[in-house]
Each structure stands twice: as structure tokens, then as C-alpha cells.
Amino acid sequence: MRLVDYLDKGASLGADAPCLTMDGKDLSYGDVQRLSYRIARGLANSGTSPGEKVAILSGNDPTAFACVFGISRAGAVWCPINPRNEAAENQFILDASDCSLLLFHSGFAPMVDKLRSHLPKLRKLVCLDTEISFAPSFERWLADVDGQPFQLDPVDDLALIPGTGGTTGKPKGVMLSGRNIETMTALTLMGYPFKGRPTYLALAPLPHAAGVLCFPIMALGGRVVIMHHPDIGEFLDLIARYRVTHTFLPPTVIYMLLDHPKLEGADLGSLQCFWYGAAPISVVRLTEALEKIGPMAQLFGQTEAPMMISMMPPEDHYNADGSIATERLSSAGRVGPLVRVGIMDGEGNLMPAGERGEIVVRGSLVMDGYYKNAEATAEASVHGWHHTGDIGYLDADNFLYIVDRAKDMIITGGFNVYSVEVENALQAHETIQDCAVIGLPDEKWGERVVAVVQPRAGRTVDVAAVSAFVKQRVGSVKTPKQIEVWDDLPRSKVGKVLKSEIRARMLANGKT
């Protein structure tokens, strides 16, 4: 399956059915299919050969997402760019990925204008929504191109090259094949509820997880409702208006949803599957989401093994008697049926159930490697398994528990402290919205456990009371020796808390 095959499969189930919807306007499957023919021809006419790299820089937009299928149909490779990236990061990604053509929204024109002289591999620029002095508009670019069927064969199975998060240095280009996306799609359709023709609501950025989840939706001929700007009130309105069955949000946005005044009266009866992932979630807030929203569904993956390393569908959040399975909510779900997961020690030995070590993965979900980076590829695949960099364990029922990033483990007074465990205890406190736990140098302990907490709206954090609360749950060794209260926490483009930035800020401010 190529990326365009998901569009064509959906079209075969009904070309007149709505495919992409935004601001009350629909593009049918036939509309998007014809547009993809034109885009593919336009790419070929611009000298883009099969196997070449084409980037898209845009917020959530139907035309921009339709370009993904035109790129695939031309046999080219999609390079998704997160619209929240800074200019320097985009320059690095475009150059390192050998992009020859860039499709961009006019909102990014100043950035593109600044970067273009530094990107000699870029032969062509096209603006998606208007004419720009240095780039033709999308309509002018395709003015003489018809919508008759057109398709070129790719040179290999490489489908897209997303960048890693870049939270610990320069991003690496992850080579994802058609087989990787096909495996992810199969796991999604096998592991989560789908009844009838689905409707998926995309609030999160389409170049990230929200976009990849569109492929299984389209394989069933479903509708993708796109939100241009994140707005929780509108999100709730759209669920009711379009009878949305599936959606995805990261935990930080779910917390905002749970605190939104419109949630109590919202009509969420159509929801079959509300995915959450991309960062750890508070067990307390997840319990609240199960009570207020309903069919929550976890997914765990990486850019290198997209989305579905482990899965927890809605029913796994409950016990057989219908009560919430509280003890299971801190897990990342069961290992997927088409994925092998092991727990490995530092010598490459696989460890038994219950033992902690690095989470490693095998199977057709795992990337082909990092683009033009053999050293990083070899490092990530030592001992024949993909190394996630996460520490965790598997229980007797094959549920996966993630206890920390390997680089975030704190060694204090000779004891290993896993930050996620402390963060779960902190987030159980009624005044805390979010938090991060790090280790800072300490003359006595080697490292001391330090927490930075973000208060819930309208609440005041009593540091002494929080410390006592955490100590009661995890003991004195794991209780932070220092708790700082910040109005907000620094985050990556996909909403992950940047512990490296917190650590650097605290060290720069003499918080040692």
C-alpha cells in the first residue's frame, strides 16, 4: 500500500462520500482523487522524479493534506514539516532531507523567503493559497493541468521522512516505508472499535500523529473533519455536528478539555474511540476523562515505530464488572499483535516479565533507518532490535509499563528514581495541572529529585502540602527535595515537556 492507495480505497467505497471537511465545506473522495492527479502531474511537469523529496509546510488545511496523495501518486516522498518549528530547524530538515520542492502556506512566506537562499537543493516553491513574489500560487502552478488519471511508480517503498522531535539535538530524518504505514493501519483497524463509516476529527497538527491516523480512517471511506485552529469549544461543537466517531488529542489538550465549561453539556454520544498519546497522561485526569468523556483509547509509539507499539482500546480501561481498571491506567496498553516488544538490559539480554530495562521493538512497524545517517541507525538497532530509549517492563498479561526515558532516570543516594512514578504522584494532587521531575547535582545525594509543577487554573499550590502528599504515596527517597511552581512548562512542538530546558533554566538561575 502506497499512501495514495488509502485515498483510492476510500474512493472505491463511494467517490461522492465526503473525504476532507473544513469550515463547513466538503471535498469528496472523487474531488481529492482528481486533485491528487493534478498535483502528481504538476510535480512531474516541474521536474520532480520518482524518489525525490517534496515537503509541505502548512497548518491544518485540506489542500495541503491532499498534496500528500499527489506526492505519493507522483512516486515522490513526502517530508512533513511541523508548522510549529523554528526557521533554523526547518532549514536543517529541508536540507538534510534533500527536498527539491516545497509547498507552503502564505503564513510561512516570510520564513520561506528568509530560508530559500540557504537551500540550494530546493528547485521549486509553490504557495498553497495565494501568489507570492518568489513563488507561483497553487492554482497558477496547476492552471494547465487536468484531472485525468495519472500515476508514476516509486523507485522503492520509501513513503515519508518525518523528523524526530529534536528535543535532544538536531532532528533525524526517519525513513518510513509503505509497509510501516500499512502495518500501523492494520494494527489500528484490528485494535480499536470501528463501526460503520467513521468520522475523524483532527485538531492536532496533521504533519504529526493526527495526520497518520487519517490513513486507517480513509481505508474505510471515512470523513476527516479538519480544524485549522485549536479551539476546545469548537472541538466539542464539531463532535456533535458531524457525529464524530474518532479523534486524537495529546494529554495537555485533554486536560484543557476536561476543564472547559462546555464539556458538561456537550453531546459526545457518537464517540467510539478517543485516542490519547504522545506523552504520559495523569492517571487521575484519565479517570476523570473516562467519567466525563467515555471511550478513551491509548496508543504508544515513536516516529521510528509509528503509533501502535502498544495499544489500549476503550474496553481495556475497565474491569469485567464495568468498574474503571485503575491499576491498569498507568500502562501503555498491550503489545500489538504484529509487533514484538522486549525488555533489554545493557548487555543485550532480554529480561523476564516484571523486570525493568530498555523497551526494544521488532517487526514491520519499525522504520527502515535514519536518512543518510548510518551511525545513528546502527546505534538504534544494536542487538537486532530497535531501541526506544524508554525504560519499562512487561507484566504477566503483556501490558507494557513505561517508567522513564533512559536519559531521565535519577540516581539519588544510590537509588534509582524513575521520574514518571513521581510525576504520577504529583499529578494526583488536586491543585496540580502538570509537572516535570528532573535530577539536579547535589553534594550529598549525587543527584536530588526536583519537581517543577504547573497549577490548575484558579488554584494555589501549597508546596509543603504537596510534598507530604507525594511522600505518602512514593516514600521519602522519591519525594522531591525541591518543588518549584511555574505558571507554565516549556514544551516541544508536539506538546512534550522539555526537561532539558527546565534543567538548563534552573542551573542558569543557580537553583542547585
Condensed to tens digits (0 to 9), the pLDDT of residues 245-267 reads 999 998 888 989 999 999 999 99
Comparing 49-58, 228-237, 273-282, 464-473, the range with the smallest average pLDDT is: 273-282
CA 366, CA 386: separation in Å to the nearest integer?
A: 7
- The string of pLDDT tens digits covering residues 446-478 is 889 999 999 998 999 999 999 999 998 888 889
Average pLDDT over residues 148-158: 96
Whether the predicted pLDDT of 81 surpasses 80: yes
> Does the domain spanning 27-179 belong to CATH 3.20.20.70?
no
Nearest Cα residue to 303 out of 270, 331, 278: 278
* Region for 328 from its dihedrals, namely left if φ exceeds 0, alpha if ψ lies in -120 to 50, beta otherwise: alpha
Average pLDDT over residues 345-351: 95
Higher pLDDT, residue 510 or 441: 441
Contacts of 472 (CB under 8 A, 6+ apart): none
Whether the predicted pLDDT of 294 surpasses 70: yes
The per-residue pLDDT for 82 is 86
- The string of pLDDT tens digits covering residues 409-454 is 888 877 778 888 899 899 999 999 999 999 998 877 888 999 999 9
Helices assigned H by DSSP within 144-245: 178-191, 209-212, 214-219, 232-242
Q: Any long-range contacts for 42-46 (C-beta under 8 Å, 24+ apart)?
A: 42/70, 42/141, 42/142, 42/145, 43/70, 43/71, 43/74, 43/76, 43/101, 44/74, 44/150, 44/152, 45/145, 46/101, 46/123, 46/124, 46/141
The per-residue pLDDT for 218 is 98
Amino acid occupying residue 5: D
The per-residue pLDDT for 166 is 52
* DSSP string over 93-153: HHHHTTEEEEEE-GGGHHHHHHHGGG-TT--EEEESSS-BTTB-BHHHHTTT---S-----
CA 350, CA 341: separation in Å to the nearest integer?
A: 10
Average pLDDT over residues 89-100: 93
CA 66, CA 39: separation in Å to the nearest integer?
A: 9
Whether the predicted pLDDT of 512 surpasses 70: no
CA 489, CA 496: separation in Å to the nearest integer?
A: 10
C-alpha cell at 298: 491509548
- How distant is the alpha carbon of residue 222 from its chain centre? 21
CA 412, CA 216: separation in Å to the nearest integer?
A: 45
Amino acid occupying residue 271: L
CATH superfamily for domain 409-508: ANL, C-terminal domain (3.30.300.30)
The per-residue pLDDT for 500 is 86
Please report which confidence band the pLDDT of residue 288 belongs to, taking 50, 70 and 90 as the band edges. very high
DSSP 3-state of 508? helix
Average pLDDT over residues 107-119: 94
Q: Are 179 and 96 in contact (CB under 8 A)?
A: no
The per-residue pLDDT for 511 is 64
Q: Where in the chain is the domain with CATH 3.30.300.30?
A: 409-508
The per-residue pLDDT for 169 is 61
The per-residue pLDDT for 413 is 75
CA 87, CA 328: separation in Å to the nearest integer?
A: 41
The per-residue pLDDT for 274 is 98
Please state the φ and ψ torsions of residue 5, each to the nearest 5 degrees: -65, -25
Q: Where in the chain is the domain with CATH 3.40.50.980?
A: 27-179
Task: Indicate yes or no: pTM above 0.75.
Answer: yes
| Buried b / exposed e along 407-420 (16+ C-beta atoms within 10 A) | ebbbebeeeebbbb
Whether the predicted pLDDT of 186 surpasses 70: yes
Q: Are 443 and 413 in contact (CB under 8 A)?
A: no
Higher pLDDT, residue 17 or 491: 17
- The string of pLDDT tens digits covering residues 352-389 is 999 999 999 999 999 999 999 999 999 999 999 999 99
Contacts of 507 (CB under 8 A, 6+ apart): 440
CA 177, CA 13: separation in Å to the nearest integer?
A: 25
Q: Are 260 and 54 in contact (CB under 8 A)?
A: no
Residue 275: burial class (beta carbons within 10 Å; 0-12, 13-18, 19+): buried
Which residues partner with 223 through β-bridges? 199
The per-residue pLDDT for 170 is 78
Average pLDDT over residues 315-328: 94
Q: Which residue has the cell 492517571?
A: 283
Counting residues of the chain whose pLDDT is more than 70, the rounded percentage is: 98
Amino acid occupying residue 388: T
Nearest Cα residue to 503 out of 467, 453, 450, 424: 450
List, edge to edge, every strand of the sheet that includes 99-104. Answer: 124-127, 99-104, 53-57, 77-80, 158-160, 174-177, 369-370
Q: Count Cβ atoms below 10 Å from residue 437 Cβ, excluding itself.
A: 29
Handedness of CA 323, 329, 331, 332 (dihedral sign): positive
- The string of pLDDT tens digits covering residues 18-60 is 999 999 999 999 999 999 999 999 999 999 999 999 999 999 9
Helices assigned H by DSSP within 398-487: 419-427, 463-474
